Each structure stands twice: as structure tokens, then as C-alpha cells.
Structure 1
Amino acid sequence: MSQSLARGLELLDLVSRGVDSLDTLAAATGVHKTTVLRLLQTLESHGYVTRDVSYRYHVGSAVFGLAQTALDTRDVRRVAAPTLRALGATTGQTVHLAAFDGETVIYIDKVESRQPLRMYSRIGLPAALHATAVAKILLGGLDDADLDRVAAAVDYERFTGCTIAGPDELIAEVRRSAARGWAQDHEEHETFMNCVGAPVFGADGRVAAAVSVSVPNVVLSYAGVLDLLPALREATAAISAELGFVGEAPFVLPPALPTLPTIPTV
């Protein structure tokens, strides 16, 4: 790779992470300030960085445009968009679309909830492989050998007391989710959030993406989130059909949860 290109990419990465002054950028790269300034001017002329009145550098509009174009070229995102928005409007909750990027699960689209309390996530960020419904769905599309290999490499960070703690537990949950056609994050990533996810299939019959609905437990109980499964299933079936999938995908509703007794008022 050209040295100038490598340095320019390093500068762009640093700017994206908040390193914003000429001095700090030069120090971080170990390159003389005049060289850094020349590279920044080139990036600025193409819209990849911008400079404010305090001479602080920020990511430019060209980066966001490039990212958006790259996302839009992923057919599943373009095809799914109207259905995701309809699902968000129907449920009023946060809807995610996720797909594999290598062996990382990435959120590639999101519909924000109408609720004031929302799940923190962002398009382009990775989803925890052991603590999100979308990741369990996508892992369910792997063959046994790949699933074993990926599960063995996961960093099993304990986000809550409900987080899956090891590869055997993750593999069992992934296989259970694949068999019934939906996965859950039952307060596994955040203690106040429940989530259900379902697969999107491509024309080749393989899992192409995953869609999830996430709800704070102050808005809906766990049982209430499970009640959203038919709407989620309808959405993923519609997207799969748009992608050319023909066939029957597994979908088994959970048994009804026991109703808690009503406490009489005095």
C-alpha cells in the first residue's frame, strides 16, 4: 500500500474516533505536522474530513455518503426497509436488521421506537454474539463445525445475570432458536430490555439476515414481547419472499406464560 494512502487512512480513522487537532494527530501518527496537514488538506478537499472554526477536524459528509451507499447496495437492506418501517409503526418499538460481516454480526438498519426509553444501538455497530436475538438467529444459519468454531472464540462478557456464560450454553440456545424459528434476548444484554428476533431467508434458502423487536420491560412485560412474535414472523416472511425465498420456515409459538394472580386492592 502507498505510504501516503496508509497515512491518510490512519488519519481518517483517528478523526473518526475523536482525535481532532493537528498536534494530537501528528503525535498519534508519529508524522511531522506539515505532512499531516498536507494529508488532511487532501482529505478535506474530497469531503472526507471537515475543519471547524477552532481548527478541529471532524469526519466529513463524504464518509457518511460512502457508508450509506455501501449499506444501500446490500439488497437485503433495501428490500427490507419498507417492511421494517411498517413493523416499527405497528409495534411502536425499536426494530433492527442485522447481518454477518465476516464473523461479526452488524446492525445494518434500525427503526427507532416511539418510546422515550430506547435500546442503545447504532447502524454499523456489532451485536454481541452471545447476548442478542439477532446474533443467535444468524448463528443458527451456520453449519455445526462453523458454529462450534465461532462459539469457542466468543468473549463471554457478562452483561447481566442472564447473559449466556459459555460455548455449550450458546450452542444449545442457538439450536433451540433455529428449531422454533425465533430467538430471544431475555434481559441478557441489558437488565431492562427484552427482545425477540426471527430469520430472513434468501433465495438459496440460507439465513440472509435477522430482524428483531426490542422493548423496555417498563413498556411491555416479557410475555407482552412474546406476543409480538406473529407480527415479527409476518414481517420476516414478507422480506424473505421479496428476496426470492420459496419454502416453509420453522415457526413455533411459545406456550402461554402463566398469568400472575391479581392482588386485590383494599
Structure 2
Amino acid sequence: MSQTVDRALSILPLLAQGPADLGQVADRLGVHKSTALRLLRTLHEHGLVYRQEDQRYRLGARLFALAQEAVENLDVREIAHPHLVALNERIGHTVHLAVHEEGEVLYIDKVESRYPVRMYSRIGKPVAITVAAVAKLLLADLPEAERRAVAEKLDYPTYTSRSTPNAAAFLKELATVREQGWATDLGGHEESINCVGAPIHGADGRVVAAMSVSAPNVVVTAEELLSLLPQVRRTAEAISREYSGTTPNTPSAQGRSDD
């Protein structure tokens, strides 16, 4: 690591202890004030530090935003994975974990079924957003105006006769999902595949990820898969508790008033 980068990064732990002025930063780094100022200006330009009116520096909001994004989009997979594996071992069917990122819903983890018939889905692959249970859970959590804007921009492919036909129908289904706290895809993407899903909440009650169990109807019927919903929801709640350190309000977290 270059000396300049090393010095710049050394500023962050110092400011984590509280605001500090230029002299304090220079003394801690063992450099001239002009060098400390140059490093602070660079960090300030990237939003990692902020200069207060009293000329002291503190950690910037961008740093907290990056930390929050890392927690919500990366750590949730690490926390969820053992729970997904345990559920898969109990029920035998394919288990997915997904997040909403940059307008797409993406699978970030998958535990394969023990049965010979396998799902085509892959980690990193976008889901069929208008029909997938995980997509409904993630989009249902958006504030109403954002939910409506997203729904009106989407295309509505007719994958099967059960596919969501238009924005009005999609919004109606999202409202139901938001109220009940769980979602299904019963042959909406493939006639032979059914899916049930539940949300994973962060400490603020927002849905940070969604998990689902999927199976072909040659293995279990839709009714049999729906009977597993309590196990799916308990698994999602366990992940939420570990991830956020709080007990999620399910289904009321989905049924809360719009922002």
C-alpha cells in the first residue's frame, strides 16, 4: 500500500473517535499540516469526511452510506446461507435468496433441490420480475409512488396463462403481498414450477432481501408447496433477527402505511 493511501486511511479511525481539527490530524499522522490538509481535501471530495463550521473534521455521510449498502447487499447472504441450507435439508426443494439492485431483482444465493429435476436459475441472474415471488416481495416494500412508477415502466411478458398481464394487475398483487407478508408464483413463469417466498427485514423494518422455495409440480403440488409456507416464513424471520438484531413485524412490516 502506498504511503499516501496508508495515511489517508489512517485518518478514518481517528475521526471515528470524534471530530478533530487539522492540527490533531497532522499530529496523529506525523506529517506537516499541508500534507494532512491535502489528504483531508481528497477524502472530503469523495464524501468520506466532512468539514464542520468550527473547522473540525468528522466522518462523512458517504462513508455511512457505503457501510449500510455493504451490510444490506453482501452480509445478508453470509447470514442467510446457513438458514437456507437448513431449510433445504428439511424440505428438499430449491431455496433462493434475492435482492433488488439497480432496477433488477437478482439471485444472490441458491441451494439446489435434492430431487433429480433441477431449476435453471443461477446466482447473479435476474429473475422474471413481474411474476417471481421474490420480486413481488421486494417491490411490494417500495413506497407507493415508487412502486407505481416501477410497475408502469415494466413490460409484462406472457410466460404462461398465469403471468401478470399488466401494471394494474401487478400493483394489485403487490398490495396484497405487502399486506399479507408473503408471495407466490404458481405457474406464472413456467407452468410446471411453483414458488412461495417470504421477506427478510433490516433493523428499520424495510425488506432488504427475499427468500423462496421452488419446486416442479411433478415433485409436489402447488397445495403441498403452500403447506411449507410456515417453515419458509420462520426461516425468513430467523434470518431477519440475526441480520438486524430485532424481531421483524411480520406481516405488519409489510402492511405498514406507505411512506
Spell out, residue by residue over 1:169-194, the C-alpha distance to the aligned partner (whole angstroms, 9 max, x if none): 00111110121111000100001000
SS of corresponding position for 2:120: coil
- Paired position in structure 1 for 2:158: 158
Tell me the residue number matched to 2:111: 111
Instruction: Report the count of equivalent residues.
Output: 182
Q: 1:196 to 1:97 in 2, by over 3 A?
A: same
Is residue 246 from structure 1 mapped to residue 256 from structure 2 by the alignment? Answer: no
Unaligned runs of 5+ in 1: 1-69, 252-266
Structure 2 gaps, min length 5: 1-69, 253-259
Alignment pair present for 1:218 and 2:227? no
TM-score by length of 1: 0.66
Superposition map of 1:16-165 within 5 A? 74-165=74-165
Paired residues of 2:201 and 2:248 also in contact (CA < 8 A): no
* Cα deviation code 1:47-92 (max 9, x no counterpart): xxxxxxxxxxxxxxxxxxxxxxx99970110110100100111110
Distance 2:243 2:105 in 1: 20
Q: Is the 8 A contact 1:138 1:209 kept in 2?
A: yes
2:27 is matched with which residue? none
Matches of 2:160 and 2:228 in 1, distance apart? Answer: 24
Partner of 1:167: 167
Aligned to 2:29: none
Q: Secondary structure, in 3 states, of the residue corresponding to 1:80?
A: helix
Q: Please give the root-mean-square deviation of Cα atoms over the aligned residues, in Å.
A: 1.7
Distance in 2 separating the partners of 1:156 and 1:113: 29
Structure 1 residue 155, shift from structure 2 partner: 1.3
CA separation of 1:210/1:73 partners in 2, compared to 1, >3 Å: closer, same or farther?
A: closer
User: How much has 1:248 moved relative to structure 2?
Assistant: 2.0
Alignment pair present for 1:203 and 2:203: yes
CA distance in 1, matches of 2:119, 2:201: 25
User: Per the alignment, in what secondary structure is the counterpart of residue 119 of structure 2?
Assistant: coil
User: How far 1:131 sits from its partner (Å)?
Assistant: 1.1
Which residue identity lines up with residue 189 of structure 2 in the other structure? H
Match in the other structure for 1:234: 234
Counterpart of 2:47 in structure 1 is: none
Asked whether the equivalents of residues 71 and 108 of structure 1 are also in contact (C-alpha less than 8 Å), the reply is: no
State the alpha-carbon separation in 2 of the partners of residues 173 and 184 from structure 1: 10
Q: TM-score, length-normalised on structure 2?
A: 0.68
Q: Which of structures 1 and 2 has the bigger CA Rg? A: 2
Shift of residue 102, structure 1, vs aligned partner: 1.3
- Give me the identity figure in percent: 47
> What per-residue deviation string (whole Å, max 9, x for no partner) do you get for residues 134-178 of structure 1?
000001110001110111111111111100010010011111012
| Post-superposition CA distance 1:234-254 (Å, at most 9, x none) | 100000000123342118xxx
CA contact (8 A) 2:200 2:237 kept: yes
Inter-partner Cα distance in structure 2 for 1:72 and 1:130: 23
CA distance in 1, matches of 2:241, 2:191: 35
For 1:243, what is the secondary structure of its paired residue?
helix
CA deviation profile, 1:87-122 (whole Å, cap 9, x unmatched): 111110000000011111000000000111122100
- Segments of 4+ moved more than 6 angstroms: 70-73
Residues 221 and 207 from structure 1, CA distance in 2 versus in 1: closer, same or farther, beyond 3 angstroms? same
